[in-house]
Amino acid sequence: MPTPKPYSKVPINECHDHLVPIQGRHLTLLKPHPYAALGAPYGMYSPFFLRQKVLSRLQAAAIALQETHPGWAIAIYDAYRPIPVQRFMVDHTFDTLAQSQDLDSQQLRQCPDTPAAQSLWLQVYQFWALPSPDPAMPPPHSTGGAVDITLCDQAGEVVDMGTPIDECSPRSFPDHFAKAVELEAIAIHRNRQLLARLLKDQEFIQHPNEWWHFSWGDQLWAWQSQREMAHFGAITEQ
């Protein structure tokens, strides 16, 4: 069993903010949704839901974007993620990484203590949260407080951010291109800085290993911003 993330120790004082569909000016939904297309087991909500307080801040960031980049939009890749979907995608990522390294994922699952299996799981959990059903330590996306996003230009095209969302490599770290000297890489870093600045101005925090992941109100947000309590626990679907 992987070690729980350090932020999972932060207490949760659930504020019962509503989970609402993502809509608003200068916000666009990237469809078809990649996890749903894989068969991830979504319940009564779609991936394009967030807590109301989070959506309001995201909307404010999208409006602020117009001041320097008229016609651009914040594009939502993924938001609310039930715990079964988190588990599905963790397993899918493990299988995909194994395949990319010419390894047999089924055999590795049967021998989880081998160095090869442990190395793969370390790669997975460097980016993915534990799919824990424990209400004291929910995955960030399962709270409705986390969102994976990118930018679209005035033509509706996704801006170059250097990696696809969900790439499990150091290139996905927010500052990976900070010391770049090539013009293309400099532009990538500038795009990442723009996205991060917009969200941080609305008091979001950025995942330390993912240029695309931002959250407000969950345990990761509370831990990184040194708050005593998180506002959101996992959404309970009826």
> Which amino acids are annotated catalytic?
210
- What is d(CA 195, CA 41) in angstroms, rounded to the nearest whole number? 30
- What is d(CA 55, CA 19) in angstroms, rounded to the nearest whole number? 9
Instruction: Using the Cα atoms of residue 108, residue 110, residue 115 and residue 118 in order, give the sign of their dihedral.
Output: positive
φ and ψ at 222, to 5 degrees?
A: -65, -45
Residues 6 or more apart whose CB falls under 8 angstroms from that of 102 comprise none
Residue 31 zone, left/alpha/beta (φ > 0; ψ -120 to 50; rest): beta
Residue 204 zone, left/alpha/beta (φ > 0; ψ -120 to 50; rest): beta
Cβ atoms of 80 and 141 closer than 8 Å: yes
